[in-house]
Amino acid sequence: TSHRSLCLSPAVSLIISPSRTQHFSGDSLSLSCEGQSDSTGWRVRRYTHSGNVSDCSSDWGLDTGSTCTIRYLYTTHTGVYWCQSESGGNSNPVNITVHNGNVILESAVHHLTEGDSLTLRCLDRNTNTSYLQASFYKGGSHLYNQTTGEMTIHTVSQSDEGLYSCKHPERGESPHSWVSVRGKMYCRSSVIIILLLGFLEL
């Protein structure tokens, strides 16, 4: 996925490895708080559908400072993850889904901006590679049948925002993932704020 926007970025971002929002149960996952400045004092947190907010700990992950490692994913790890500083600062949240089936959708982890490209891939549990045959859906409506296992929107617009999923005729369907697209005016406003702050400091 390309990012050509001039949007303001948070001080620290949540970096996910493998870089996708859907994961198979039984896989491992690494979540790191990384930024242009020192990320010391930032911790990974999560919110689950049960309504619990917790820090990365022995209850569900291995905490090594600004990195949290989950060695074996369960469906109960599904939730919203983000980085939080000791002073209360927050990164952008990421909604992570852990799936017990055979098919997941690989999509953009963070916000897209109008003009960016988006590639969706339909991944198989056994091989972690794209299917040669897959159907893609948005909001439950069929979009494309692809023989490459992936679908690309070269220039996204806000009309491309929505819930996406994919399906293999024999292996089943992936969960849905929300793809967020911000307008370019939002990013220009962010740049204007930076310029104004710089002028006021002179």
Output the pLDDT for position 83: 93
In this prediction, the residues of the chain whose per-residue pLDDT falls under 70 are 1-10, 36-39, 131, 185-202
Residues 76/103/120/11 CA torsion (nearest 10 deg):
20
Output the pLDDT for position 196: 45
Phi, psi angle pair for 35, to nearest 5°: -155, 175
Residue pair 81/15 in contact by the 8 Å Cβ criterion: no
Output the pLDDT for position 38: 62
How far apart are the C-alpha atoms of 9 and 51, rounded to whole Å?
28
DSSP secondary-structure letter at 130? B
Residue holding tokens 């905490």? 63
What tens digit of pLDDT does each residue of 140-160 get? 999 988 888 899 999 999 999
All structural domains of the chain, each given as residue ranges with its CATH number in brackets, are 11-100 (2.60.40.10), 105-202 (2.60.40.10)
